[in-house]
Amino acid sequence: KPFKTVLCYKRLDVAAKLLTETDKSAADIARTVGFHSASHFYRTFSARFGMTPNEYRKTKAEKE
């Protein structure tokens, strides 16, 4: 995989972890992990995990 793709996946993995471990908003997490656009973050996150960041957070919270 190209470096750019690997870096994006790493950022999304960190974002997913932050969604489950903090109460920060998805937009704040997007900025924290290096996305300059919240809408780009939402699209990319949804493509990788099959759900929005907020749905991901709710799903993981229900499993705990």
Say which residue the tokens 């750019």 belong to.
4
How far is it between the farthest Cα atoms of the chain?
Answer: 35
d(CA 33, CA 58): 20
The predicted-structure confidence for 8-37, as pLDDT tens digits, reads as follows 999 999 999 999 999 999 999 999 999 999
d(CA 24, CA 20): 10
H helix intervals, the chain:
3-21, 26-33, 38-49, 53-63
The predicted-structure confidence for 53-62, as pLDDT tens digits, reads as follows 999 999 988 8
Residue 63 has pLDDT above 90, yes or no: no
Q: Taking the model in full, what pTM does it have?
A: 0.91
